Structure 1
Amino acid sequence: MATDKARFGLSCAITTPMREGGSVDLPRLVHHARHVLARGCDSITLFGTTGEGAALGLPARTAMMGALIGAGIDPATQIHAGVAAASLNEAVEQARLALDAGAKGLLVAPPFYFKGVSDEGLFIWFSQFFEKLGASARNVVLYHIPSVTAVAISVGLVERLKSAFPGLVIGIKDSSGDYANTEALLKAHGELAILVGDERQLARAVRNGAEGSICGVANLVPELLRPMVYEGRDSPVVNALVDEICSHPVLAAVKALTGHVHGDPGYGAMRPPLEALDEATRKRLFAAFDRITQARAA
C-alpha cells in the first residue's frame, strides 16, 4: 500500500451545475467544489463522466477552469481534467486548455466513436496525442470505462503506453465495475496509481494496493470515502448508497442528490441529450438517501 504522501487519494468526479438551457452555472460550481474539498476530497476532476464532460466544449471548459482558479482553488494540486473526444485534434485542444491553465493532470478516455478497434490502433492514437502535446504533457491517468465508451483500455495496452512514455502515464482509472480487471491491473501495473471508479469495490482494492478513486459519490459523502481510500475501510453506507444511485440514471441521480445535500434544487438541470429526474423520482431518491445516510449515525 502506498504511503499517504505518495497516494493519489480521493478526487471528486465533480458534477457540472447547469442552468436551464444547458449553460454552466459557475457560482454553483465554485460553491460545490469548495464544499467537497473542505469535506475530505484531495482534488476535483473536471469534465469527467459524472460532470457530463463529453458534452462540454472548449468555451465551457475555459470558463469553468477560470472560475475555479479565480476562486482560489489551486490547479497544480487540486484540479485534474477529463479529456473525452472522438477527434484527436479536439482531444489535444481539451488537454492543452487544462495543462496551460496549470491543471495537475489529465484523465484521458480513448476515442469513442468507432467500436471494435484494436490495441494497435489505440496505441497509435494515444502516441499521437502525447506527441502533439509535447513537453507540456504530464500526469496522465488512462480512463477505462467501457460501459460508456465501448472501447476498452486493456492491461496490455497500458503496458505498451507506460513503456513507450515512461513517467507520463501515472495511472489508470478502472470504471469497468469488474473487480477481476482491477486485480489484473494491480498485478501487472502496481507501480502505477490504480484508481477504482465503483465505490463498492474501493476499500477492497485499496487493501490490495490501489491508490484511491475519482468517483461520483464524492460529490455527496466525501467524508465517508476518505477512510476507504486511506485505510481500506469498508463502508456499508457507501455500498447501499451506490446501489440506490445505480437504480436510477446515475448522472442525473448524483446531480439531484448534490442539490439535496446543498438544500438547493438549482443543481438538477442536465445538458441535453441527458434529462433530469422527474419530481416524483427525485423525492423517492432523496428519501432513500436520507434513510441510508441517517442509518450511519444510528
Structure 2
Amino acid sequence: MKFGGIVTATITPLSSPRQIDADRLAHHCNVLFAEGCSFVSTFGTTGEGASFSADQKIDTLKKLKEHGLEMSRFIPAIMTSSFADAGKMLAAYHALGCAAALVLPPFFYTDISDEGVIDYFEAMLDVAENPEIPLLLYNIPRYSGTHFTPKLVEKLVIRFGPQIVGIKDSTGNLENGLTLVKCFPNLSIFTGNDRVMPPLVAAGGAGMIGGMPNLFASDLVKLFSSIGDSSTTDLLEKAAKRIEIVDSNGGLNVLKAAVAHRYRDNSWCQVAPPLEQISKSAFDMLLPLLEVPTLAQHLDPSHFNASTKVTT
C-alpha cells in the first residue's frame, strides 16, 4: 500500500494543561481535510505524543470517530518505550480503522542494536495480537536515539514484510531522504520538512508528514501538487521562511499560538508539561512575519462542531 500527499502532524488542543480537548481537535481535523490534506497524524512530536498516556490517546481517537471523522484518514503515532503500551495503542488503532500507525523506536536506552529494535516491534505486535495494520517507521534520531538506517529498515522489511509501508524521515537531511527513496522504492518515504519535500517528491518520495500544515495546509497542498512547476517558487520561499521562523523561536509553542490566533481561541495556546507557553509579547513580534492565513467562511471551525465555541 502506497501512502502519499500532505499529512498534518496535528497539534493537540487542551482543555486544561493535562486534558486533551477532543472537540477542538475534531473541528481542526475537519478544517485540515477541507484544505486538502490527505491524512492527519495525531500524537506525534508536534502532537506532544510523549506527554499523554495510551488511554488518553485511545479515548481521544474514539471521540473523533464519534464526531463522524473518517478514521481511515488517520495515522496516529506510537511514542513510548513500553512495548505493552505500544501494543495496546496499536490494537486500538486497528480496531478503530486507522489507516496506519507511525511508530517511534524505543527511546531512553542508548546504543540499541538493530536486533533490539526488531524485538521491540515483535513485542508490540505480539501484545496487539498481530493486527494487520500498516506501519510507518518514525525516523527522528534527535529524540529517539535510534537512526532507521537502510540496513535496519531492510531487516525490518525482511522480518515484517509488507506491513512496513513507509518511513517518516525527520532528520531534515535531503540526502538521507533520497537514500531511503533509492533503497526502498516500494515504501512511502515522507519528510517532516517543508523545504525538503519538493526535491524528495521529485525523486519519488511520498510527500510530507509535518507540523506546518496545521497553519498552511492549502499552500503546501498546492506545492505538493505542482512539483517541478516554476510557478511554485514563491510558495517554496514562503514555506522555507515560515519553518525557519517557527523552528528558531520555540517550535511547537509558536505553532500552537499561531493556530490560536487563526481560530480566535486562546485555548489552543496551552501546552502540556514540561513545555511552556510562549509569552504574548514574544508571539506578537513573530505574528507579522508568519502571515497566518485567515479562515475562509466555509472553513470556519464553528461550522463543523456546534458544541465548540470559537471566541472573537
TM-score by length of 1: 0.91
Question: Is 1:241 equivalent to 2:237 in the alignment?
Answer: no
How do 1:71-110 residues align onto structure 2 when only pairs under 5 Å count? 71-76=67-72, 78-110=73-105
Deviations 1:172-221 (A, max 9, x none): 00001111211110111121000000111011100011011111001001
Give the root-mean-square deviation of aligned CA atoms. Answer: 1.8
State the SS of the aligned residue for 1:111. Answer: coil
Query: Which whole-Å CA distance do the structure 2 matches of 1:278 and 1:147 have between them?
Result: 26
Does structure 1 residue 145 correspond to structure 2 residue 127? no
Give unmatched runs, 5+ long, in structure 2: 295-312
Secondary structure (helix, strand or coil) at the match of 1:227 reads helix
SS at match of 2:167: strand
AA matched with 1:281: A
Task: Look up the match of 2:225.
Answer: 230
Deviations 1:218-270 (A, max 9, x none): 10011111133333255111111001101122111111111122122220000
2-structure distance, mates of 1:86, 1:143: 13
1:174-253 matched pairs, under 5 angstroms: 174-232=169-227, 233=232, 235-253=236-254
Tell me, yes or no, if the aligned pair for 1:211 and 1:229 is still in contact at 8 Å.
no
Q: Which residue of 2 aligns with 1:21?
A: 17
The answer for the alignment partner of 1:254 in structure 2 is: 255
Answer yes or no: is the 8 Å Cα contact 1:107–1:140 preserved in 2.
yes
Secondary structure at the aligned position of 1:138 is classed as: coil
- Rate the CA distance shift 1:293–1:203 in 2: closer, same or farther, 3 A: farther
8 Å Cα contact 2:87-2:123 kept in structure 1: no
Amino acid in the other structure paired with 1:59: D
How far, CA to CA, are the matches of 1:181 and 1:264 in structure 2? 39
Asked if the contact 1:30/1:71 (under 8 Å) is kept, the reply is yes
SS across alignment from 1:68: helix
1:155 aligns to 2:156 (yes or no): no
The residue number in structure 2 matching 1:12 is 8
Give the one of 44, 48, 67 matched to 1:48: 44
Contact 2:197–2:207, Cα closer than 8 Å, also in 1 = yes
Provide the rounded CA distance (Å) in 2 between the counterparts of 1:47 and 1:293. Answer: 24
CA distance in 1, matches of 2:281, 2:70: 39
- State the match for 1:288 in structure 2: 289
Note if contact 2:88-2:127 (Cα within 8 Å) is conserved in structure 1.
no
Equivalent residue for 1:128, pick from 100, 108, 123: 123
Q: Answer yes or no: is the 8 Å Cα contact 1:119–1:154 preserved in 2.
A: no
Q: What is the CA–CA distance in structure 2 between the aligned matches of 1:131 and 1:180, rounded to whole Å?
A: 35
1:119 aligns with 2:114: yes
- Judge conservation of contact 1:237–1:293 (CA < 8 Å) in 2: no
Amino acid at match of 1:272: P
Tell me the number of residue pairs that the alignment of Structure 1 and Structure 2 aligns: 288
Q: Distance in 2 between matches of 1:230 and 1:129?
A: 36
1:171 maps to a residue whose letter is G
Tell me, which stretches of 5 or more residues in structure 1 are unaligned?
Answer: none
